[in-house]
């Protein structure tokens, strides 16, 4: 929802994003539509402040942050390094979470210890 400044028409518009809590079942079902709100091929959507949209997604809808970043980087060709760094960090978190789930799913004595030897810790730095 866009809210224009009341007394100064020449000021840039401010954006206010709100959401209502929803059940996990509905949230999962609405993921495609929720992502579309931030990636629709409309001027109003493309001009949303991307850093604020990303923060909103990371705080309340983290599962949508990766698709949003992929869209602004690969479709809208955004070159802002911070977005690329956040996408890498989110990829790493996802891979580490999946690896942990996989290791926890292995039965005892099936080589779980050997797999843990290959665990790699990643860090992302903005410094080149």
DSSP string, 67-94: HHHHIIIIIS----HHHHHHHHHHHHHH
Q: Of 62, 68, 61, nearest to 45 (Cα)?
A: 68
Number of other residues whose CB lies within 10 A of the CB of residue 56? 20
Q: Residue ranges per domain, the chain?
A: 1-78, 81-128
- Point out the least confidently predicted range of 17-21, 78-82, 84-88, 99-103: 17-21
pLDDT tens column, 2-25: 333 334 455 555 555 555 455 545
* 123 has pLDDT over 60: no
DSSP state of 95: H
pLDDT tens column, 26-49: 555 555 666 777 777 778 878 889
Asked if residue 62 lies in contact with residue 91, where contact means CB atoms within 8 angstroms, the answer is no
- The pTM (predicted TM-score) of the whole model is 0.63
- H helix intervals, 30-80: 31-39, 43-46, 50-60, 65-70
């Amino acid at each position: 929802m866009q809210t224009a400044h009341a007394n100064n028409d020449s000021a840039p518009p401010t954006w206010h994003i709100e959401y209502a809590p929803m059940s996990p079942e509905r949230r999962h079902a609405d993921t495609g539509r929720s992502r579309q709100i931030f990636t629709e091929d409309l001027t109003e959507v493309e001009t949303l402040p991307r850093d604020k949209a990303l923060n909103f997604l990371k705080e309340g809808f983290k599962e949508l942050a990766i698709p949003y970043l992929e869209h602004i980087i690969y479709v809208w060709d955004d070159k802002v390094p911070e977005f690329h760094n956040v996408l890498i960090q989110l990829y790493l978190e996802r891979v580490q979470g999946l690896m942990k789930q996989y290791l926890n799913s292995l039965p005892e004595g099936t080589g779980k210890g050997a797999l843990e030897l290959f665990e790699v810790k990643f860090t992302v730095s903005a410094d080149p």
